[in-house]
Amino acid sequence: MIDSGHTEPREPFVIQGPLFTLLNDNSVNTYDYFDSGSMVVGDQGRILYVGPSVPADYSHYRIKKTQHLIFPGFIDAHVHYPQLPVIASYGVSLLEWLDKYTFPEEAKYSQRLYAERRARQFLELILQRGVTSAAVFSTIHQEAFDALLGAASYSGFNLVSGVTGMNRGAPDDVLVDVGLFKEISSKAMESGLGVERFRYAITPRFALSCDEEMLDYCGQLLEINPHLLMQTHINETEDEVLATSNLFPRSTDYLDVYDAFGLLGDRSLFAHGIYTTESEYKRWAASGASVIHCPTSNTFLGSGLFNASEYVSRNINIGMGSDVGGGFSLNPFVTMSEAYKVARLGGKVLDPLQLVYWHTLGSAKAINQADVIGSLESGKWADFCLIDITSDDIGFEVWERSRSVQEKLFGLMFLLPDSSSRVVETYAGGISRWRDTSCLGSK
């Protein structure tokens, strides 16, 4: 069950145990690892201190000792909460998958009770996997957005989301005309105001589902309000790229479509970016926009192999997303191991620290929040999970025998999803929001 922290006072505490975190210093491989570390969490849900021992100032705080690995909460920078029920849809590629499975499911989110049930389920499943922040696609419906916002704020989850913009290329029950979209978006932005740990993202689904008027309105919103983010899809499959160029014949390429409507900038998140061209890379790098790598979706739908080094070499920030339900798992360890495999198929070897970076600090940067989330450092939100590194024979053996922190993390990526080692508790804002009751008190 999800725990709401609303009624509990946030009692400050110290948590002590093995601790890993990357450090937010513009490099992907600086980290702290302590076999026995201490993290001090203050009464506002922020981290006051991380280090090898507890400073005297905090020695009177309650101490929680754990044998589990204390790890930064993961950030899923691209996921569709209404698509949980279409995970594992058989035998199709992107555009057919949207028509055959996804749009019919998304149409159901006009029903408030259905949306609320799915939103609660989504939050529970994602917290269970150690994810404490996400940039989430909803649907065109006000009910779907409200349900997600309600469930996230109840569970202290750090949410980025917005009403999905779509006014063509799909059945009527998942389309909205621009007039109504303006109305629903205004209400949604208003209801998000003052909600702690929520940030609104303008969400045109992708160029194929938005006409010029829709994209133009999205661009205006982004320009007027510097606090807003923008999330969409780009260059995911060859069919989609071709269809986009047919629909926007005046644009030089896919990125140009978004740029023409003011949607390319340092508050923009573009998922996929597999078929990006040389001129798009250049423009992308200059804009400060992030790409969100969604490897399980790309392999499952057969979309293609993301070429991370093209982005890394141009200093384009990379975040990571599950892209459920194109992706088949909400588990960050599955996403990271899939990214490793995708890179191997492209002849590259990825450092496990790089993979963890993309799923924590890189994703935090993508949503413009690297100052407050993405690592366990003083001043940031105490968003973390506890990973059981001792319960599984093989997992424990690999953890113990690994000589470096990189090897330990790499072992976790591949062994954790298929072992009894797992996330056993997740904290957001210093409050335990989900825990595996079967092993509580054991360690």
List contacts with ligand GUN (CB under 6 A).
80, 94, 98, 102, 205-206, 233, 236, 297, 323, 326
Nearer to Zn ion, 284 or 434 (CB): 284
Instruction: Note whether 46 and 26 are within 8 A (CB).
Output: no
Minimum CB–partner distance for residue 233 and Zn ion (Å):
6
C-alpha to C-alpha distances, 162 to 143, 271, 390, 425, nearest whole angstrom: 12, 15, 40, 28
Of 297 and 363, the one with the shorter C-beta distance to ligand GUN is 297
Question: What does the per-residue mask of binding to Zn ion show for 185-224, with x meaning CB under 5 A?
Answer: ----------------------------------------
**Residue 424 structure tokens:** 């056993």
142-154 vs 112-128: helix crossing angle, rounded to 10: 40
Residue nearest to ligand GUN (CB): 326
Question: What is the nearest approach in angstroms of ligand GUN to the Cβ of residue 205?
Answer: 5
Identify which of residues 89 and 102 has a Cβ nearer to ligand GUN in the complex.
102
Pick 102 or 155: Cβ nearer ligand GUN: 102
Q: How many Å apart are CA 388 and CA 395, to the nearest integer? A: 10
Alpha carbon of 25 to those of 229, 285, 311, 365, 409: distances in Å? Answer: 23, 20, 19, 12, 20
Position among 323, 338, 377, 392 found at the interface with Zn ion (CB under 5 A): 323
Which does residue 68 touch among ligand GUN, Zn ion, none (CB within 5 to 8 A, set by kind)? none
Structure tokens at 2: 């999800």
State which residue, 199 or 272, has the beta carbon closest to Zn ion: 272
Instruction: Give the phi and the psi of residue 68 in degrees, each rounded to 5.
Output: -80, 155
Q: How far is CA 366 from CA 269, 271, 289, 334, 407, in A?
A: 6, 11, 8, 20, 27
Task: Select 259 or 323, whichever has its Cβ closest to Zn ion.
Answer: 323
Minimum CB separation of residue 365 from ligand GUN in Å reads 22
Task: Determine contact, residues 118/82, Cβ cutoff 8 Å.
Answer: yes
Nearest residue to the partner Zn ion, using Cβ:
323
Query: Shortest approach of Zn ion to residue 320 CB, angstroms?
Result: 13
Minimal distance, residue 237 CB to ligand GUN, in Å: 8
Q: What is the spatial distance between Cα 62 and Cα 64, in angstroms, rounded to a whole number?
A: 7
425 scored as a contact of Zn ion (CB under 5 A): no
Q: Residue 46, Cβ neighbours under 10 Å: how many? A: 18
Is the CB of 100 or the CB of 187 nearer to ligand GUN?
A: 100
Instruction: Write the CB contacts of 225 (distance below 8 Å, at least 6 apart in sequence).
Output: none
Stretch touching Zn ion by CB under 5 A, among 4-12, 118-126, 188-196, 322-330: 322-330
- State the binding partner of 189 from ligand GUN, Zn ion, none, CB within 5 to 8 A by kind: none
